[in-house]
Amino acid sequence: MEESKTFEELNIDEDILEAVRDLGYETATPIQISCIENLLKGYDLIGQSKTGTGKTAAFAIPMIELIDPDDRRMQGVVLCPTRELCMQSAEEIRKLLKYKPGIRVVSVYGGQPINYQISDMRKGFQIMTATPGRLLDHLRRHTLKLDQVQMVVLDEADEMLDMGFKEDIDLILSQMPEPRQTVLLSATMGEDVKAIAREFMEDPVEIRTSEDDHLTVDEISQEYFDVKAKMKTEALCRLLDLEMPERALIFCNTKKKAAEIAEELKSRDLPADALHGDLKQAQRDLIMRRFRSGDIKWLVATDVAARGLDIHGIDVVFNYDLPDEMEFYVHRIGRTGRAGKTGKSYTFIVGKEIEKLAQIQEYTGSKVTPRTLPTLQEIEAVHKNRLLQEVRQILKGGSPSLPSAGKYMADVEALIADGFDAKAVASALMAKLLYTPSADPLSKRPALIVSDSDSMVKLYFSVGRKQGVRVKDLVGLIAAKCGVPAASVGHIDILETFSYVDVPSSVASDVIGTLDGDTIKGFKLGVQMASSK
Ligand code: ADP
Ligand code: MG
């Protein structure tokens, strides 16, 4: 067992202790104990500890201890693989500096105007968080000097080397003064990375702070779903529908896929958006801010969001695609279950990927258990309970976010005056609100093996782009008029003057019967089975 210590026992400055108390940290985590003790003694260090175990404070506290606040030259450098991490680490360091106003932190990363950074640096600072590329830019422009650096930290060290930053990092470290302390941290670290790291380190202390051989924390439950490639989005919608997570991260392997899934979710009016490397820096910042604030609940991302990000309250991490590299599985799911909290991870696998998942389990030392997707009936039951709960709240005069019970009283009285029974009216309203088609495109038969195409049928709609029709409009129309849940509407292809919409076969004739002859955006709508040619 690891010993446990309070921060007070760690021989750190009272101003820092005060800030740590304000942050609500009680005991130091094992990596924090090792880092603080060893770095204060002046050693170099290679540290591996699981995701969410507080590695930032582990290096930041001793770094702050080292710094001379009266000298406004750069004394500490933190290299990070992504711009988001640069900003996040700087924020955490600033929180620890709450009672040390003399120490200033700046961040430099690509995508932000270099002149802005230069004027920010001119105000004087002691700590910099940086991506390696941008730090080198500043060195080449002579807008930055390394000669006073006492400590350099490579956070997510293995990732920076994997991303091809090795030459940049070599160049940066070779220009650092000696003696200085070099620190390498990550949740995953192969022998090769350690070997490379040793070139720049002097007799480093090596720490691996886990009592077991697992790379993932026990607080994260890990489950997988064996699905057909074509049904992944349906599966995703269904799980989101079932759980309604307050915050979820959905990882895809490509930027294109991430953008596509986010669009798909948005077209169904779900609170989702995408984060990937093709977006401009300002957009990335905005999306991160909106995700942190809860404005975006479900973020569909590439691996730019896999490393290091610390966002409170992520309930579920989805691997929509199984990651190509095993380490990424560890980092992706590590965005939940942080600082001792619990979290869930759901991984979709298609066919032979089960073998890759077995390798991942061997690598992480933890088990991923199989699960079947919820049926439409199960989802309906969940919706029903949610609805009943809200109705009870409305009846009790409940919450300001809900309508008042009196609003439709006159309409209900009119129905009753027509001779309908009040109970029957209430039940009919619930039936209307909760309607789900009887056949489930996914379940019943061993649905995950059956070809999915035979349970979905393609319908022809006589409107398209020219009529200003979007995916959202068609999903909305089908949901509103036919009672088919948005999540059950399949792929939609909007062409110039017509569109194709996949719907579960069991509701196809209902949809045709209801919508053929209807209007959309002022245009008369024709709906029929798409011909097979
Ligand atoms: P890692 O880099 O190991 O993934 P972070 O440094 O991002 O972890 O910290 C994860 C979360 O834990 C952060 O929200 C941080 O504020 C919190 N945290 C850090 N140290 C402690 C502590 N000693 N006690 C409680 N929470 C902590
Ligand atoms: Mg970290």
Would you call 128 helix, strand, or coil by DSSP?
A: strand
d(CA 447, CA 450): 5
Check if 209 has its Cβ closer than 6 Å to any atom of ligand 1: no
Q: Which residue minimizes the CA distance to atom 5 of ligand 1?
A: 54
Looking at the CA of residue 185, tell me the nearest atom of ligand 1. 2
Check if 54 has its Cβ closer than 6 Å to any atom of ligand 1: yes
How many angstroms does the Cα of residue 56 sit away from the middle of ligand 1? 7
The pLDDT, as a whole number, for residue 532 is 65
The pLDDT, as a whole number, for residue 196 is 72
The pLDDT, as a whole number, for residue 439 is 52
The pLDDT, as a whole number, for residue 406 is 84
Q: Is 492 exposed, middle or buried (0-12, 13-18, 19+ CB in 10 A)?
A: buried
How many angstroms does the Cα of residue 53 sit away from the middle of ligand 1? 5
β-sheet bridge partners, residue 442 = none
d(CA 214, CA 211): 9
C-alpha to C-alpha distances, 381 to 181, 273, 374, 434, nearest whole angstrom: 58, 28, 11, 9
How many angstroms does the Cα of residue 249 sit away from the middle of ligand 2? 17
Ligand of minimum distance to the alpha carbon of 52: 1
How many angstroms does the Cα of residue 51 sit away from the middle of ligand 1? 9
Check if 25 has its Cβ closer than 6 Å to any atom of ligand 1: yes
Ligand of minimum distance to the alpha carbon of 331: 1
How many angstroms does the Cα of residue 111 sit away from the middle of ligand 2? 22
* Buried b or exposed e, range 369-398, using 16+ CB within 10 angstroms: eeeebbbbeebeeebeeeeeeebeebeeeb
Q: What is the pLDDT along the chain (533 residues), one digit of tens a residue?
A: 457 899 999 999 999 999 999 999 999 999 999 999 999 999 999 999 999 999 999 999 999 999 999 999 999 999 999 999 999 999 999 999 999 999 999 999 998 999 999 999 999 999 999 999 999 999 999 999 999 999 999 999 999 988 888 899 999 999 999 999 999 999 999 887 887 777 889 899 999 987 777 899 999 999 999 999 999 999 999 999 899 999 999 999 999 999 999 999 998 889 999 999 999 989 999 999 999 999 999 999 999 999 999 999 999 999 999 999 999 999 999 999 999 999 999 999 999 999 999 999 999 999 999 999 998 888 888 889 989 998 898 888 867 777 788 888 999 999 999 999 999 999 999 888 886 655 555 543 332 322 344 478 999 999 999 999 999 899 988 988 887 888 888 899 999 999 999 998 888 888 998 899 888 888 889 999 998 65
Contact, 180 vs 146, CB < 8 A? no
Check if 118 has its Cβ closer than 6 Å to any atom of ligand 1: no
Ligand of minimum distance to the alpha carbon of 30: 1
How would you list the strands of the sheet with 105-108, edge to edge?
105-108, 127-130, 76-79, 151-155, 181-186, 45-48, 205-208
Ligand of minimum distance to the alpha carbon of 29: 1
Residue type, 96: L
The pLDDT, as a whole number, for residue 440 is 53
Check if 339 has its Cβ closer than 6 Å to any atom of ligand 1: yes
Check if 156 has its Cβ closer than 6 Å to any atom of ligand 1: no
Contact, 254 vs 304, CB < 8 A? no
Check if 87 has its Cβ closer than 6 Å to any atom of ligand 1: no
